[in-house]
A and B are shown apart, each in its own frame.
Chain A
């Protein structure tokens, strides 16, 4: 087990700090909590760990109404009530109304799986605390059927958060933590490369310049992230935009072509237009 190492995949660029943290979590079988700006590859990481280590992946996407219990199982009382009124035979066995959640599914896998708990901060503040015991012991009890479900293998648990809520200390103590920093230009080059291996160097250079410049514009509501850059590059390729169209001299005086992929917020577009207007006027 200890020789298992995640080193990124052909679709995913993992930096050294990320690899170290992930591998520590894999080694000890403890959850890893991933934070970072939107679009920095938090969700995809779990998929790639599963692919890289050849493990099944189970996903649990958390919403504001999600309860911890739903990850284990749900008792569909409403269906049972309906069946009882319709006189259905199934009603006598409560097990018919137990619906397995992603955590239960993960516990049943024949080889160690990867379990993604995506956007944990969307849920109620109690949510992480409600999972402490299950994360520690990797087992839980089903009251309705009086059975204990024990994990066949401790899943590799990847938890993502967008920082909307602070997570409780008791929960944090049980996790490894990694914060994905916004990729620097070199890492970004590698990332673009796994998505568009045949991109022309000049185009990529100009595009990256324009992209990082744009991120520096003060006061943007939503800075474009990796996913926006990738979308934009796709459009640039599709429209066959030449690198010159992005080149430095014009950059501060015109909106970049197809900027809609980068700036999704109308206010941000206005802000940028204003800056460009000022630059044109000042002849800078």
Chain B
């Protein structure tokens, strides 16, 4: 039951730790009065989910779990074969969790604790507590079949609570795995700014130096801190072909909004794959090209390279001389990509295509391989992971 909920959350991508799960049990235990489902929902969320970007996922799992409530709560967690539990458990555990289990006295001990807590709850239920009931009168058991069973808060306007909170999916906008758009641009920008500030070199920390020197009875003790601003230099390469235009606009918006935070930000356009020439002005893409060799010479190796494109094209465009759809290229795109990456060791590719399609598109796989797997989805999270890879 509750344990099952715990597993479902983990399967649903919410990495609830055992500590947090035990915290939930502990709060439930402390309270003598009954819980309404809604209260239980809020309580579980406050204990188990520490990021509002995951609230929507939590809502979905909660909804799925509590729809079949009657069956589930009729079940007895202790009766689930331990073998089954354990296998699932171990598959889901991170190393850190495993270490925690060890520190709690290993598996047997933990299972015992969990079981005991659950039994206590069972016992209390028999004694008339309401929060985990199975019968028609308890809020949980009744939920979904008898809405009156849900206790409603004394104050506030009742009509607001008529719809189950978790089914309202109010946090959908905060999910950071959705495609980057104007809605979540702000969040993305904040992450980008943070990256701009943190990936920085050291400078002298005067107050700390003075203080440490004083502590040191006057002997000079120099302290350094990371420089705060404008340290990161970025080369942005944007794929400016047809289907990409919307995404490119979002990216441009994003990076130009963060412009002040970077020491330098230079951008160039390409089409599908990078070849010997790139351009700065899309209107004059055929007349005003900058040779890629010039770019490689002009911008030093400490620039971080960010390519944005769907990498969706025919494999010829990457691997054959003359493969480009727009012009005759003497050398294959892959050759130019390699040159680019050799010059800029810190590089990532951001791809707006949904991740589940990457595997089935040959050119995306090729490009990811050229990028040494440093390809990230164009979502807030992808952006963040990419920034980390650049850091």
Given known contacts A78-B211, A186-B160, A20 and B43 CB-to-CB distance under 8 angstroms: yes
A200 at the A/B interface (Cβ < 8 Å)? no
The size bracket of the interface on B is: 35 or more
The segment out of B25-33, B67-75, B295-303 that lies at the interface is: B25-33
The size bracket of the interface on A is: 35 or more
Given known contacts A77-B214, A164-B190, A33 and B50 CB-to-CB distance under 8 angstroms: yes
In the assembled complex, which residues on chain B have CB atoms less than 8 Å from the CB atom of A190? 156
The 0/1 profile, CB within 8 Å of A marked 1, for residues 342-376 of chain B is 00000000000000000000000000000000000
Give Cα distance in the complex from A77 to B23, angstroms: 42
- Is B47 a contact partner of A173 (Cβ separation < 8 A)? no
Return the chain B residue nearest A163 by Cβ: B190
The 0/1 profile, CB within 8 Å of B marked 1, for residues 154-172 of chain A is 0000000001110001001
B218 at the A/B interface (Cβ < 8 Å)? yes
A212 at the A/B interface (Cβ < 8 Å)? no
Q: List 10 A-B contacts (CB under 8 A).
A: A17-B46, A28-B23, A81-B217, A163-B190, A173-B50, A177-B49, A177-B51, A184-B160, A186-B160, A190-B156
A234 at the A/B interface (Cβ < 8 Å)? no
In the assembled complex, which residues on chain B have CB atoms less than 8 Å from the CB atom of A78? 210-211, 214
Picked from A21, A25, A174, the residue with its CB within 8 Å of the CB of B42 is: A21
B residues engaging A (CB < 8 A)?
17, 19-20, 23, 26-27, 30-32, 38-39, 42-43, 45-47, 49-52, 55, 153, 155-157, 160-161, 165, 170-171, 174, 182, 187, 190, 194, 198, 210-211, 214-215, 217-218
Picked from A2, A172, A219, the residue with its CB within 8 Å of the CB of B50 is: A172
Give Cα distance in the complex from A225 to B31, angstroms: 35
Give Cα distance in the complex from A218 to B50, angstroms: 29
In the assembled complex, which residues on chain B have CB atoms less than 8 Å from the CB atom of A20? 39, 42-43, 46
Within 8 A of B (CB), among A10-63: 15-17, 20-21, 24-25, 27-28, 30, 32-33, 35
- Is B170 a contact partner of A181 (Cβ separation < 8 A)? yes
Given known contacts A173-B20, A177-B49, A16 and B153 CB-to-CB distance under 8 angstroms: yes
Return the chain A residue nearest B194 by Cβ: A165
Give B184 Cβ to nearest chain A Cβ, in Å.
12
In the assembled complex, which residues on chain A have CB atoms less than 8 Å from the CB atom of B51? 172, 177
Return the chain B residue nearest A7 by Cβ: B155
- Is B211 a contact partner of A77 (Cβ separation < 8 A)? yes
